[in-house]
Chain A
Amino acid sequence: MVRFENIGLRYGVGSEILRDLNFQIRPSSFQFLTGPSGAGKTSLLRLLFLALKPTRGLMTLFGHDVSRLDKDALASLRRRIGLVFQDFRLIDHLTTYENVALPLRVIGRREEEYRSEVIELLRWVGLGDRIWALPPVLSGGEKQRAAIARAVIGRPELLLADEPTGNVDPTLAQRLLRLFVELNRSGTSIVIATHDIALMDQFDARRLVLHEGRLHAYD
């Protein structure tokens, strides 16, 4: 699914912040990405969701060499990836329903086709009574669940989550982890970037540890 071979990344003319990364993410796998602050977790996630291109090495995503893809092809690949941000990135003037439906709107699906699908998912993540609410009036936990719903509505093959439990209490963090585990059981590969040791201890999964720009995998 994802393959990194001797990947290096630098911003501008500075030194490499990611060095010689060699790893794979297999279909239906579950992994935590961890490491100290400044180790390059966010940069690696940005590489994975194609916001950046590596400065060296070979990165293949769903069988495509990303360095050879044009903008439209990259956008098509992004549709196969779900993304959950630590700061949610919900659009304030759109309702919860509209935010969650956004990936389907973007690919040109008609509202009457996806309406029930979106409502069902919102019920599943416990936002059945907040469907028409705007993000500014949602609590942190509700925003996080809306962000997760938006990430999974398009049935992504790979789900990337950046500190998904950073803004929620331990109980909700546990519930969210259960949600990710369920998604993984349904076939989605999961990468959760976190430095929440307690969260990682709750589920036995592969750990990718970044330290000083290098990656160590613990299966």
Chain B
Amino acid sequence: MSGSGILLLFLVSSSIFLLLGLALVLYVMQYQKRMMQQGQAMQAAEVRHQETLLSASIDSQEAERSRIACTLHDGLGPSLASIRLRLLMHGQEHPNQQLFLEDLSELISENIQQLREISHDLLPGVLKSYGLQAALKELLQQVDQSTSTNTLLNTTGEAIQLSETQELAIYRIHQELVNNTLKHAKASRIELRIAWEATQLTLLYQDNGIGFELEKQHVGLGQYSMESRARALGGNLELTSQPGQGMQCQLQVPFSKSNPDPS
């Protein structure tokens, strides 16, 4: 073979190997990119699935709470009231047992009151009748009346009627926050600011309690439930706290005035 023939052979073989290598490199890049995109899509689908499950779980929990509240309020409550009335009547007919029966009647009254409170916690009637703002106001008033913690509610902007699901979720989040403050924070003051903006509702809850280190705090069921409810609303919940500086929680819920429910 002549010199130029050999040179051509080397040139062709090197070019072929170079092109094959280049094709392989490009293929690897493309394939890897596609695999990663597929992986991300699968992950996103999994997150969506989890959120659907979460939403269904919250709905069923609320339905169950509602059923229990109705049973307590409409079934057990009137029954206890009726028993109490009969005991009082029996006491009038038998004066020698009156003292004992009045004691029993008092005990039943206390139970009826407790039952009403449980029923109210499970399904706050004021939320359905008067809306979110009134329900939150009542929640804070209860704290004011039954504990040594003072509360302050501040509202700005024009309130609009959100969907029942949204209002219940926001109410539950604040119920949890109030419970946490009363149980752990040793706070003397709770403040809630509600700001109705053009496309979102912002609620800023803060207490002046002992606070905690957020990074060291174990994410409990309560916090998980609050975050889940915020996610189901399409909103954003941000907790901040420092030891000795109380706790702040900002909840932002987007809405459209024509269609308040983002879901």
Q: Do A and B come from one complex?
A: no
Residue numbers of B with Cβ under 8 A of A are none
